[in-house]
Amino acid sequence: MNELSILADGRATPWFVGWGTLALINAGLAQGKNRSGLLWFLLSLVFGPFATLVLVLMPKARQTLF
């Protein structure tokens, strides 16, 4: 058994690493669009690539009204 694996089944570990990396990337994308990075990080942990698609299609949020 691989001592670096988090789960008993070492084959599932790369899947979780990829999902977490995607969540971090989405948090950076969200901050670049003036949106909450923490909120999008958490949404990405649940929805994964679907959250990425929504985030990419959303327009940049305005910081002020004028």
Model pLDDT for residues 1-19, shown as the tens digit of each residue: 444 455 555 565 677 888 9
Burial class (CB in 10 A: 0-12, 13-18, 19+), 48: middle
Q: Which tokens sit at 12?
A: 């599932």
Position 40 pLDDT exceeds 60: yes
Lowest mean pLDDT of 9-13, 37-41, 43-47, name the range. 9-13
Q: How confident is the model at residue 55 (pLDDT cuts 50, 70, 90)?
A: very high
pTM: predicted TM-score of the whole model, two decimal places: 0.74
